[in-house]
Amino acid sequence: MDFRSSEPVAGPRLEDALPATAAAAVKVVIVGGFGVGKTTLVGSVSEIRPLTTEETMTQAGVGVDDTAGVERKTSTTVAMDFGRISINEELVLYLFGTPGQQRFWFLWRGLFEGALGAVVLVDTRRLEVSFDVIGRLEERGVPFVVAVNSFPDAPEHSLEELREALDLPGSVPLVVCDARRRDSSRDVLMTLMRYLHSLAVTPEAS
Amino acid sequence: MSDPGHEAGGVSGGPGSHDWEDTSPERLYVITGGRSGSLGATPIDLVTLIVAASGAKPGMQPEHAAIVRMCEAPLSVAEISAYLALPVSVVTVLVGDLLTAGHVLARAPVAPAQLPDLALIEAVIDGLQKL
């Protein structure tokens, strides 16, 4: 914050620059409750260290989040961590991790518009957080898959039990992952992409 | 610099000498000239890639110049927002100015109308497999 002069020093490190050929970008949203591992998942597959962007929510968000210590009554700042994967020389995939326990992220203009789809990251110790998230994605017609982040001390559930508890339609993929592991997080994204592929081939399946 | 009341003595009477909180509404209002949202013809998304069309010009607003400088290689609006520590809505306004002035170009995001294009999904799957 010492560079508030006419020469702000800001921008990506050289190694974080995209190739000049990068022509288009797509986004996937990772949603889930606080502490479920969204940023961990984003960080494990991202080619850049996760960055944080924020938006100031006004009006509709007022009064919803009483616990954040918001000093201004008309606005609330919502932060979102994101990462990036260069798919090829032209195409870039961005992963946005959003705080699922808040309602604000659905108000975040442009977050879900144009998103390929979403990953709902679930902690079996706090399943209830996911109900709201899943319901809202369904309402908005955002295609999603559900990934259970396996925590060592989490109770063991079969996927069938979890599917029932989450009231998930049989068509929605449900997988277990370890968000700390790059290959596991990558597989979650693959699950979403294969699901999107199946929807694109047979649109009526959605 | 830890003294909240005074900037370094050499800076004389500049408008930047207010000790505003970075994201205070006042500061954001000044940066955007009180505008909000994207008014330009090009819709700007979080993942719209922005590329500088020319170098930063003397006399540019500092935030404009910073964007032009960091967009020498393509950069998404979300990344610009993160590096500038400014809200996306503010960056959207600033990028809109630069687009209108022709200082930057936008590479529009791939926005699937209903369901994403098969070829696009296959490209992403291919890319992920190489991770």
Q: What is the CATH number of the domain that holds B66?
A: 1.10.10
Do B46 and A23 count as a contact with CB atoms less than 8 A apart?
no
Is A190 at the interface with chain B, CB within 8 A?
yes
Q: Mind telling me how many Å the CA of A123 is from chain B's nearest CA?
A: 25
Q: Per the structure block, which two tokens stand in for B85?
A: 């520590």
Which residue among B66, B118, B128 sits closest to A190, beta carbon to beta carbon? B128
Closest CA of chain A from B29, distance in Å: 12
Percent of chain A, pLDDT > 70?
79
CA–CA dist A186, A41 (Å, integer): 9
pLDDT band at B72 (very low <50, low <70, confident <90, very high): very high
* Residue-number span of the structural domain to which B58 is assigned: 35-107
Q: Is the pLDDT of residue B4 over 50?
A: no
The reply to whether B15 falls in a domain is no
The predicted structure's pLDDT at residue B36: 61
Per-residue pLDDT, A201? 87
What is the amino acid identity at position A37? G
Chain B residue at shortest CA distance from A204: B115
Distances (CA, A) of A10 to A98, B62, B92: 24, 11, 17
Specify the pLDDT at position A107.
Answer: 62
Does residue B77 lie within any of the structural domains?
A: yes
Q: Is residue B54 part of a domain?
A: yes
Residue B93 confidence (pLDDT) above 60: yes
> What pLDDT shows up at residue A3?
44
Calpha distance B108→A94 (Å, rounded): 14
Q: Is A148 exposed, middle or buried (0-12, 13-18, 19+ CB in 10 A)?
A: buried
Best A3, A26, A201 member to test B by mutation, with max B CBs in 10 Å, is A26
B chain contacts of residue A199, beta-carbon cutoff 8 Å = 115
Each residue's pLDDT tens digit, A120-165: 999 988 888 788 889 888 888 899 999 999 887 777 788 999 999 9
Look at residue A117 in the predicted model and tell me its pLDDT: 95
Q: Which residue does chain B place closest to A6, by CA atoms?
A: B62
Residue A73: the pLDDT is 47
Query: Quick check: is B17 in a domain?
Result: no
**ipTM field:** 0.84
Cβ contacts (< 8 Å) between A12 and chain B: which residues? Answer: 70, 73, 75, 79, 83
CB pair distance less than 8 Å for A94 and B47? yes
What is the sign, positive or negative, of the torsion defined by CA atoms of B103, A113, B123, A45?
positive
Q: Is A159 helix (H, G, I), strand (E, B) or coil?
A: helix
10-residue averages of pLDDT along chain A (206 residues): 51 92 93 89 96 75 45 65 95 90 63 90 87 86 94 81 93 96 97 95 64
pLDDT at B110 over 70: no
Q: For B39, what's the count of Cα atoms within 13 Å in the CB-facing half-sphere?
A: 10
Q: Is B128 on the interface with A (CB under 8 A)?
A: yes
B52 inside domain? yes
* B69 within a domain of the structure (yes/no): yes
Q: Which residues is A96 bridged to in the sheet?
A: A29, A82
In this structure, is residue B5 part of a structural domain?
no
Percent of chain A with pLDDT over 90: 53
User: Looking at the domain assignment, is residue B30 inside a domain?
Assistant: no
Angle among Cα B81, A42, A120 to the nearest 5 degrees reads: 105
Report how many domains make up chain B: 1
| Minimal Cβ distance to B16: which of A4, A24, A51 | A4
